[in-house]
Structure 1
Amino acid sequence: MKALQMFFLGTLMSIIFISCEKNETLKSTNTEDEIAGTAIPKFAGIKMCKDVYPDGVTPRAAAIKSKIWSNGSTIYVRLYGGSNYVRQKVRDYANQWSNYANIKFNFVTSGNADIRITFTDGAGSYSYIGTDAKRIPKNQETMNFGWFDDNTSDEEFSRTTIHEFGHALGLIHEHQHPEASIPWNKPLVYEYYAGAPNYWSKEDVDNNLFATYSTSQTQYSNYDKESIMHYAVSKDLTDGVFEVGWNTVLSSTDKSFISSLYPTN
């Protein structure tokens, strides 16, 4: 995994954030639909995370190393909306990172905050990358959890909260690690993601799945399939063997890598 923490996703000095759509538990089935004469695997309506950039921004042009917070920082976080139950779950799972990184999240109820979290239903889940959050106007959110409510499972709170706070600490998606080498079945991937529920263009697929980063762009460890920052990957969209499930907790590599980025000493 390690790559997980391949830091990157900077953009020509512009702000970029990663948005995630809710995905039900990965139910890779053997059922298939015929689209344009090609068999397309059905994933029970799973929506995937998608990189989102401001208008006019060209992705992948700046090093992510500049997005890392100063070691030992206290990062102020404010929650807007959400029930008391949901807020507490977000606090609990966000602090999983603090157990291994020399970073403290200070959740405040008033005043300015570095990370501002909303719970806008239907807007997906996303976070700006690392210190890009400090460049966002103070009246705008820097992170959103679009499907959390009092009925959300602990597994989903864990998976999504830890993942988005990983982005907030400067981490990008693991499957775009310089050493990932995922054996994608590209024609099938293009056709699948062009349909519901994602409706991605070929460019969307290239940017969010196939593009990997050079070693000069990123700070990373070994590629880790178990990273909390990795997309779920069905073998139906690869060579038929390679697959990654829904990772819901920090992997051992996640822990060691974040510790190396934000060392205690």
Structure 2
Amino acid sequence: MWAKKNPSKFWTPGRTLRIAFLNGTEEFKAATITAANNWLPHINLSFEFVEGKEGDIRILSEEGTFSSNVGTDALLSTDEPTMRLWPHSPIQARYFAANVMHEFGHMLGAEHEQTHPTANIPWNTSALYAEHGLTDNPEKDDYQAKVTRERLHQWYLDRADPDASIYSEYDRKSIMHYEIRQSWTEGDFRIFLNFDLSEKDKAFMAKAYPYPDNK
């Protein structure tokens, strides 16, 4: 797991984060709370879930997207949602929970694991580009292709600068790791969707949010 070093986006340990639901069914809210609370045994933070618009974190139930501001970036705006969660039916509860834990990982300050400073993923960039409708030649990109290429580099290909990062060992089992398809890499390398917090996830966040006697 890793996070940006300068400036750090971690919250102050011991803080209670007020987390507001802007909308959503009772089932959506209950499932979100259950999944998010998986982080609590490993961090010196508390979550207070509330209704309405007043919160450090503001969750919008929205079809088609999972996203979150990273750490204290949530404080930069007081009007917009800071997290968007795509509601799913109970039959997809495990998938929904994994994504909630992933987005709460961002909320706690973590970045995507596939861009970890020491990740050595053997990318087949031509295959990754092709599956997203791109060629190897960026000079042929129209506007939408440029946007897609930038996102692929941001989400997958551009590793973080070690000197500008706080990180533990690269973790293929991290909840913050995207699925990596076999066809996108060279050799025998793929990552399936991770459904649970890994031991390294827990250890990293315990160090980021220590209790007073855990220095």
TM-score if structure 1 supplies the norm length?
A: 0.72
Match of 1:191 in 2: 130
Which structure: greater helix fraction? 2
Match of 1:144 in 2: 84
Three-state SS of the structure 1 residue aligned to 2:95 is helix
Identity of aligned residues (%): 32
Is this contact kept in 1: 2:22–2:53, CA < 8 A? no
Match of 1:162 in 2: 101
Is this contact kept in 1: 2:118–2:170, CA < 8 A? yes
Cα distance, 1:156 vs structure 2? 1.3
- Counterpart CA distance in 2 for 1:166 and 1:230 is 11
Q: Report whether the alignment pairs 1:112 with 2:59.
A: no
Residue 32 (structure 2) aligned to one of 56, 71, 90: 90
User: Please, what is the CA RMSD of the aligned residues?
Assistant: 1.8
Alpha-carbon displacement from aligned partner over 1:118-176 (angstroms, at most 9, x marks no partner) = 01223x1100000000111x221000013x14445221122110000000000000010
Match of 1:238 in 2: 185
- Counterpart CA distance in 2 for 1:201 and 1:110 is 35
Q: Report whether the alignment pairs 1:174 with 2:170.
A: no
Is this contact kept in 2: 1:7–1:65, CA < 8 A? no
Three-state SS of the structure 1 residue aligned to 2:99 is helix
Three-state SS of the structure 2 residue aligned to 1:106 is strand
- Counterpart CA distance in 2 for 1:156 and 1:64 is 33
- Counterpart CA distance in 2 for 1:152 and 1:145 is 17
Q: How many residues were matched structurally?
A: 202
Match of 1:126 in 2: 67
Segments of 5+ residues of structure 1 without an aligned counterpart are 9-62
Segments of 5+ residues of structure 2 without an aligned counterpart are 135-143
- Counterpart CA distance in 1 for 2:128 and 2:46 is 39
- Counterpart CA distance in 1 for 2:6 and 2:51 is 30
Change in 2 beyond 3 A, CA 1:100/1:65: farther
Cα distance, 1:215 vs structure 2? 1.4
TM-score if structure 2 supplies the norm length?
A: 0.88
Match of 2:172 in 1: 225
- Counterpart CA distance in 2 for 1:95 and 1:118 is 18
Change in 2 beyond 3 A, CA 1:253/1:65: farther
- Counterpart CA distance in 2 for 1:177 and 1:131 is 20
Q: Report whether the alignment pairs 1:213 with 2:209.
A: no
Residue 259 (structure 1) aligned to one of 181, 206, 214: 206
